[in-house]
Copies of this chain bind each other. A is one copy, B any other.
Amino acid sequence: MDLLLDTASELFAELGYEATTTNAIAERAEVSIGSLYRYFPDKQAILKALAARHLEQLRGLYARVFTDDVVYLPLPVLLDRLVDPFLELHLGRPDYAHILLGASVSADIAAAGSVAEDEIQERLTHLFLRVAPRLSKARARLVATVCKGTVKALIAMASEVNDRKHRAKIVAETKQMMLLYFQSVLRR
């Protein structure tokens, strides 16, 4: 079953959800279609299972990233803590983007995805409130929104670039922009 999920993940990344046939998944996994349909009621179920697996990984990441001590880290280090793990996760799993795109197929998956995003947003908001207690809740939420969006953009930019050195430069530059922004938020 995990084998099927891994194979589906590969094919979704290569061809996208729609263009991937269930027969192709079964064939590459060296399993008959009959067996595939013993474990998954239909094609969407595979997508849902993959989405669930990713969600689990994301939640695991939250637990590691949003620990209590990060509040006391210097700002640049805090940034690394917030950005690098998510970047690595997404660069290592090229199918994730396709799963999110495939989400428009099923309302369930889209809902789960946006719940995950809201969780990040909420955690970031709390983090900012602890780092900068003078911030209003509304402002902290706004900063969290922009932060989340910028990291998303960074992930997109980094995914498009294959050269490691160039990628590192883009990452560093974006972090620099975020650092300046955070500093100005704290100063007020």
Contacts and interface: CB of A to CB of B under 8 A. Distances in A.
Interface of A: 16, 18-19, 101, 104-105, 142-143, 145-146, 149-150, 152-154, 156-157, 169-170, 173-174, 176-178, 180-181, 184
Contact of A170 (B18, B142, B177): B142
20 contacts: A16-B104, A18-B18, A19-B105, A101-B101, A142-B169, A142-B170, A142-B173, A145-B157, A145-B173, A146-B157, A146-B177, A149-B153, A149-B154, A152-B156, A177-B177, A177-B180, A177-B181, A180-B181, A180-B184, A181-B181
A174 B154 contact: no
A96 to B, nearest CB: 15
Counting every copy of the chain, the complex holds 2
A163 B123 CA distance: 23
Contacts of A153: 149-150, 152-153, 156
Contacts of A180: 177, 180-181, 184
A180 B177 CA distance: 8
